[in-house]
Each structure stands twice: as C-alpha cells, then as structure tokens.
C-alpha cells in the first residue's frame, strides 16, 4: 500500500496546519493514479490524466449515453486524517462540477464504498476548494447509501471524478491536495 508522506498517520508537523498529501512535484509521494471510466459498465466517456510541471491535468469527454463519468483514482494507501476537518484542493477548472472521492475500509455487501463530495469550478480560474469531511456521502456505484459515515482514520484511497450528467469536453488542472485542520477559536 502507498503511504503519502513518511508516516501512515498524517497528523501534520504542527497542530492547526494543513497536511500536504501531494503537490505533484518531484519530492511528492507517488500515489499511483490510474484511470477508471464508464466503459467498465458499457459507457462511452473518455478521460485520462497527465502529470507535468507540478500539476495533474485531468481531461476528456463525458457521454451520458451510458454511465456518463470519467475518473482517476489512487492506488491503495493507508492514511489517517482524523485530526483534520476536510480536503483542500488547488484547482483550475472549466466551469463544470467535479467530485472528490474517498474510500475507507468500510464495505457494503462486501464491496468498497466510495464517499463523494461535489465541488464547482470557475472556468480558467485558479481557486482553492475546501471540502469538509462532513459533506462526503457514502455511495456504491453511484447510488447513495444510508451509511456508514466516513471514518477519516481509515482512508484507503482518493480520486477525482466528473459525473455532472452533462455531455462534452472537460479539463481540470490539480496543483495540490491537502488536509486542512478544524478552525480553532482564539
């Protein structure tokens, strides 16, 4: 299993600071990204990624005559983000809605559950997107489940997906992924 950073517990060097998961630079952990598109279920969407110059570029074309999604995911990992409040992404999008996906050791009928949270992008503009862990919803093959809730101490993978029920080209640049801490009152 891959482990971002030097430890399976991403507790940060100092309380209250962001924890870098990846920034796609030469010293960043290789998370083993791979493509999974809707063609696994007979769909016609196309998508892929390219890493260069400290960014990951996710692009392709969705086709809703079939599954209607394209995704990239990490290889298996062990990551404990229980001391954090959510995921922080630095992205430049195309105005479409994307989904950040997390997996844990949780299973439904013996199969892996994905926890999804959507985020909007602005066309051609770099933005920082904070996705609170509380906003992730358990899903199996796109269908929402009643539970279990997300356990951020047992993360086994993450990914980026487009599943906005629209046809057409998509392109998103991802510069970094962090875990961000809960805000503390001072």
Antiparallel, parallel or unpaired: β 111-120 and 137-140 = antiparallel
176 found inside a domain:
yes
| pLDDT at residue 185, rounded to an integer | 53
10 found inside a domain:
no
186 found inside a domain:
no
9 found inside a domain:
no
Confidence of residue 25 (pLDDT cuts 50, 70, 90): very high
Q: Encode pLDDT of 158-175 as tens digits.
A: 999 999 999 999 999 999
Q: How many domains does the chain have?
A: 1
- CA 175 remoteness from chain centre: 13
Q: Residue 108 and residue 120: Cα distance in Å, rounded?
A: 28
Q: Which long-range contacts (CB under 8 A, 24 or more apart) does 62-65 make?
A: 62/162, 62/163, 62/164, 62/166, 62/167, 62/168, 62/170, 63/38, 63/167, 64/165, 64/166, 64/167
Which structure tokens are listed for 93? Answer: 């999008």
pLDDT value at 11 more than 50: no
Cβ neighbours of 121 (radius 10 Å): 22
Q: Encode pLDDT of 70-92 as tens digits.
A: 999 999 999 999 999 999 999 99
Domain interval for residue 66: 19-84+95-180
DSSP state of 8: S
CATH number, domain of 140, equals 2.60.120
185 found inside a domain:
no
| pLDDT at residue 9, rounded to an integer | 36
3 found inside a domain:
no
Among the listed residues 164, 127, 160, 176, the one whose alpha carbon sits nearest the alpha carbon of residue 49: 160
Confidence of residue 12 (pLDDT cuts 50, 70, 90): very low
Which structure tokens are listed for 32? Answer: 């083993």
Q: To which residue do tokens 């996710």 refer? A: 58
Q: Residue 184 and residue 161: Cα distance in Å, rounded?
A: 31
12 found inside a domain:
no
130 found inside a domain:
yes
């Amino acid at each position: 299993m891959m482990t971002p950073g030097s430890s399976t517990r991403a507790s940060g060097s100092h309380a209250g600071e962001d924890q870098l998961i990846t920034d796609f630079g030469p010293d960043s952990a290789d998370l083993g990204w791979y493509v999974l598109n809707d063609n696994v279920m007979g769909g016609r969407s196309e998508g892929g990624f390219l890493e260069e110059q400290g960014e990951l570029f996710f692009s392709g074309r969705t086709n809703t005559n079939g599954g209607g999604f394209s995704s990239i995911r990490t290889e298996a990992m062990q990551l404990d983000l229980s001391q954090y409040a959510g995921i922080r992404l630095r992205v430049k999008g195309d105005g479409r809605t994307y989904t950040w996906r997390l997996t844990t050791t949780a299973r439904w009928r013996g199969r892996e559950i994905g926890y999804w949270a959507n985020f909007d992008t602005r066309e051609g503009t770099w933005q920082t997107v904070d996705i609170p862990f509380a906003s992730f919803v358990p899903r199996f093959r796109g269908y929402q489940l009643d539970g279990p809730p997300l356990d951020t101490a047992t993360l086994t993978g993450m990914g980026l997906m487009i599943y906005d029920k629209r046809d057409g080209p998509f392109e998103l640049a991802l510069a970094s992924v962090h875990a961000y801490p809960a805000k503390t009152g001072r």
